[in-house]
Structure 1
Amino acid sequence: MVELALYGLGEMGSDIARCLAGRGVRLHAYDPVAEVEVDGEGFQRHDSARDAARTASVHLIVLKHRADVEALLFGAEGVCASAPPESLLILHTTLTPEAVRELHARTREGHGHTLIDAALSRRGGAVSDGSLSLFTGADEVAFARAQPVLEHYADNVVHAGDVGAGMTVKLCNNWLLYSNRHAALQAIRTGRELGVDPGVLRESLASSTGASWALTHYSDLDEGIVTGQGAPAVVRDRTASELGMAREMATRGGTVPSSLQETFALLEVM
């Protein structure tokens, strides 16, 4: 039986845990806050990162913020200090490519472990069923080691390039997602104001040449934004964070492209 450690049982982490537990993986999880139910005799929750880290040589990190990742990795009783020698650390937390490369170097030079990035993106089905894209940044050796693990819970595993490349793909993807959502919401609002039935409008746009993931997956969240109710703070904060990282990434190559700059207006209606 495959044996893994997972840190972070939030929305994505809990669904990954359910997928792994349902597929016979022995999973050692740690989250100091989240209370979730995960069925499967191979699932075990630990009271500390140290206890979870001691159990496996492959570690999945699904936290929200860089500060949380650094505390988990480099604390006195964190993963780097507690995991078996030469462990593989798979980072799912969305960070800039530069931040990932810094964590990779610090992990290897200070502790002898290998950290790679495997950026998450939803697909058409449920994450708990293994419907997930993973954009992976790793050298050939590390990717060969990681791929069989990643395929336990993702049906689209892409080797994007060296460390940091996975996050580059993820942030480019999010750039397009938010740009498409912003344009879609503007178009829908305009069509409604001109008297077109909202259901007819959405169905027509989603089935024609203007279609996008944002239109196809139009939800109550989008409806709330279009009708002036805004979005929950957690959604707005995540959007602002990911757009900010995309801008930081793009700025390293020169000026920020106009489409990305314009997409920040989405935050004003959220």
Structure 2
Amino acid sequence: MSANMSANPSDLRVGFVGLGIMGQAMAGHLLAAGHPLRIYNRTRAKGDALVERGALWCDTPAEVAASSDVVITMVGFPSDVEQVWLGAEGILKTAQQAVLIDMSTSSPALAQRLAAEALTRGCVALDAPVSGGDVGARDAKLSIMVGGDEAAFNRVLPVLQLMGSNIAHAGAAGAGQHTKMCNQVVIASTIMGVSEGLAYAKSAGLDPERVLQTIGSGAAGSFQLNVLGARIVKGDFAPGFFIEHFLKDLGIALSEAERMGLKLPGAALARQLYEQLATRGLSRQGTQALYCHYVQE
């Protein structure tokens, strides 16, 4: 690791690649904590607010990594991860003795591959996908599931704590992504239950808000019910997490399950229903738009 890794954690030079719905807020917390911050995003305008606050814009992921002790990537698909890590202008072209953290939700196999590649460049890679959506990112209360070298995890823990409130080392490279798949499998059946329960309430002529207030504090209470359910009741299907990204996650989870000889009928049904919504042009809506499968809004 670079000499700066042993310095005051707030002195660490951090690079952030991927400034989407969650990434902008996450990078903002790092900047607010005083970290020198270099940023890159495919659409430059998404970095403007951070640049106004003092972040340094870079034209490529490689430029971000060249002068960073810690580099974080938060992008959409495994192909995007490969591009920003392994592409001609990727972070592994220039990173030196850095801890490289992919906080995207991607495949465990890719996480293992990146960890091996990083070692050949004198770096350490961690896979650290998150859960909590736009609300968790904004409030710095994400759950962060980390796979990879435990010593490296401990070194960058102060950085991760600026973005999340529940941070756990899950095991070797790929373990963070496997843990995120557990999370997505649980969400898949839970959001179906929330959508069905609220569709039932509407069909029964109940006041959906009163139903939420009543059951949200009981055994059914969850983020999916209390946060996304409230959005459903308001007719708010704006993305905190895109359907197209959830379909990607379910595809990874079901592929891994098949490889392990495991049947996941709930996740398989959720993917089928979301695929139907995608064919209706709703892939850029939030996952709570599953409700639209049951009730025509």
Question: TM-score if structure 2 supplies the norm length?
Answer: 0.80
Q: Which runs of 4+ in 1 moved over 6 A?
A: none
CA contact (8 A) 1:58 1:87 kept: yes
Alignment of 1:41-190 (within 5 A): 42-84=54-96, 86-109=97-120, 111-122=121-132, 126-190=136-200
CA contact (8 A) 1:15 1:127 kept: yes
Q: Secondary structure at the match of 1:149?
A: helix
Q: Secondary structure at the match of 1:211?
A: coil
Please give the alpha-carbon distance, in whole angstroms, between the structure 1 residues aligned to 2:86 and 2:182. Answer: 29
Please give the alpha-carbon distance, in whole angstroms, between the structure 1 residues aligned to 2:78 and 2:159. Answer: 23
CA contact (8 A) 1:18 1:39 kept: no
Alpha-carbon spacing, 1:76–1:250, altered in 2? closer, same or farther (3 Å): same
Please give the alpha-carbon distance, in whole angstroms, between the structure 1 residues aligned to 2:93 and 2:57. Answer: 20
Q: How far has the Cα of 1:223 moved from its partner?
A: 5.8
Q: How many residues align?
A: 263
| Among 249, 252, 260, the residue aligned to 1:253 | 260
Q: Secondary structure at the match of 1:90?
A: strand
Q: Which runs of 5+ in 2 are unaligned?
A: 1-10, 278-289, 291-297
Q: How far has the Cα of 1:262 moved from its partner?
A: 2.9
Are positions 1:30 and 2:25 aligned together?
no
CA RMSD of aligned residues (A): 2.5
Are positions 1:19 and 2:29 aligned together?
yes
Q: Secondary structure at the match of 2:260?
A: coil
The more displaced of 115-124 and 136-145 is 115-124
Q: How far has the Cα of 1:255 moved from its partner?
A: 3.1
Please give the alpha-carbon distance, in whole angstroms, between the structure 2 residues aligned to 1:67 and 1:93. Answer: 11
The residue aligned with 2:284 is none
CA contact (8 A) 1:92 1:120 kept: yes
Q: Secondary structure at the match of 1:196?
A: coil
Alpha-carbon spacing, 1:131–1:231, altered in 2? closer, same or farther (3 Å): closer
Q: How far has the Cα of 1:3 moved from its partner?
A: 1.0
Alpha-carbon spacing, 1:44–1:231, altered in 2? closer, same or farther (3 Å): closer
Please give the alpha-carbon distance, in whole angstroms, between the structure 2 residues aligned to 1:99 and 1:50. Answer: 19
Alpha-carbon spacing, 1:252–1:63, altered in 2? closer, same or farther (3 Å): same
Q: Secondary structure at the match of 1:173?
A: helix
Q: Secondary structure at the match of 2:145?
A: strand
Please give the alpha-carbon distance, in whole angstroms, between the structure 2 residues aligned to 1:25 and 1:80. Answer: 21
Q: Deviations over 1:134-179 (max 9, x none)?
A: 1110122222222232223322211111111111111111211121
Please give the alpha-carbon distance, in whole angstroms, between the structure 2 residues aligned to 1:249 and 1:222. Answer: 34
Q: Deviations over 1:194-231 (max 9, x none)?
A: 22222222222212222222111124357659xxxx88
Please give the alpha-carbon distance, in whole angstroms, between the structure 2 residues aligned to 1:98 and 1:20. Answer: 29
| Among 6, 19, 27, the residue aligned to 1:9 | 19
Aligned AA for 1:149?
V
Q: How far has the Cα of 1:61 moved from its partner?
A: 0.7
